[in-house]
Amino acid sequence: MKFNLDLSEPHVKGCLELLFSSSYKTFRHRCYTHYLKSGGGDSARNSPYEPLRDRPGDWTWLCDHFETEEFQKKSVIGKANRMKLANVHKKGTKPFVALQHELSCDQISLYKECYCSDKGWASRDARQNYETMLQMQHENEQEGAIQLTEQQICEKVLGKAYGYIRGRCHGPKPNRRASSTSANTYQQMEEELAYTKQTVAVQQNQLAVQQNQLESQQKQLDWLRSVVSKLAGIPPPAMDDNDALGPSHTTTTSIDGSGSLVSDGMSRRS
């Protein structure tokens, strides 16, 4: 079978580079496994990997590469990261995208194919993830529910690593720029709703505090009016709510040079 590939197209070139890179990593891993089984060092150099038996120079270069400090450091980090994997799929090195194309199934069904076999599920977490995705898919079909795509459901349940959905290998890659196609869309909506409720609650508390302050100021103002009226001998005028906030007529009281009380231009001598 022949394909006419246009390498000037960025997506075609990127796909080929990804496939070649994945194939090389797989081959190099098999070489490293043979290197370890042969005892490493000179013992491994004298027992080349079968596909490289006719290419001793390439095998020697790989052995030297396996012994470099940089490779040893990455190997230790890789082993530690693999130990942290919660679930290990059961489909070997075949890409998930190729498997999905062969099975012609949706993404949630593909998850079951990769993490469940005749011997059972890879782990309890894998089974729980699958059941959760099925439940969300069922709720998604109900009226009034926030519509989520299969990819968004996978991202929400499985999480998202750098550049791909966890448990979905290297495909399909989520769009990290478009929030509408991100699994964080649903979470962002929930966070915005919670923030709005919190803001409204804070504003209501502020209004209640301001109301209490106004009532306290009104009481102080009434007390001052009562004191001034007693000193001036004039009964306090009837005040309404508008006058309480900003009276149009004020009563001032002072003592003139003869010791008389003066109120609004009127004097009352003792």
Q: What is the pLDDT of residues 216-236, one digit of tens each?
A: 999 988 888 888 888 877 665
Q: Which residues pair with 21 in a beta bridge?
A: none
Confidence of residue 64 (pLDDT cuts 50, 70, 90): very high
- Asked whether residue 49 falls in the same domain as residue 110, the answer is no
Total domains, the chain: 2
- Asked whether residue 103 falls in the same domain as residue 175, the answer is yes
Q: Is the pLDDT of residue 126 over 90?
A: no
Domain end among 182, 209, 235: 182
Q: Which of 1-15, 203-217, 222-236 has the highest mean pLDDT?
A: 203-217
Domain end among 158, 182, 206: 182
256 domain residue, yes or no: no
Q: Which amino acid is at 51?
A: P
- Asked, as a colleague might, if the bond just before 172 is cis with ω within 30 of 0, I would say yes
Domain end among 83, 118, 136: 83
Global model pTM greater than 0.75 = no
263 domain residue, yes or no: no
90-109 pLDDT, tens digit each: 666 677 777 777 888 888 88
pLDDT at site 70: 93
- Asked whether residue 172 falls in the same domain as residue 126, the answer is yes
- Asked whether residue 110 falls in the same domain as residue 67, the answer is no
188 domain residue, yes or no: no
CA distance linking residue 189 with residue 156, whole number of Å: 13
Beta-carbon contacts of residue 232 (< 8 Å; ≥ 6 apart):
251, 253, 261, 263, 268
266 domain residue, yes or no: no
CA distance linking residue 123 with residue 126, whole number of Å: 5
- Asked whether residue 111 falls in the same domain as residue 139, the answer is yes
Q: Which residue has the tokens 């998930």?
A: 96
- Asked whether residue 77 falls in the same domain as residue 111, the answer is no
pLDDT at site 168: 53
3-state secondary structure 137-184: HHHHCCCCCCCCCHHHHHHHHHCEECCEECCCCCCCCCCCCCHHHCCH
Note down the domain range covering 123. Answer: 96-182
144 domain residue, yes or no: yes
- Asked whether residue 126 falls in the same domain as residue 160, the answer is yes
- Asked whether residue 111 falls in the same domain as residue 170, the answer is yes
Arithmetic mean of pLDDT, 81-88:
76
Write down the H helix ranges in 2-106.
Answer: 10-37, 41-45, 56-66, 69-83, 96-103
- Asked whether residue 77 falls in the same domain as residue 117, the answer is no
CA distance linking residue 113 with residue 169, whole number of Å: 13
- Asked whether residue 21 falls in the same domain as residue 58, the answer is yes
189 domain residue, yes or no: no
pLDDT at site 260: 43
- Asked whether residue 122 falls in the same domain as residue 174, the answer is yes
- Asked whether residue 132 falls in the same domain as residue 164, the answer is yes
68 domain residue, yes or no: yes
63 domain residue, yes or no: yes
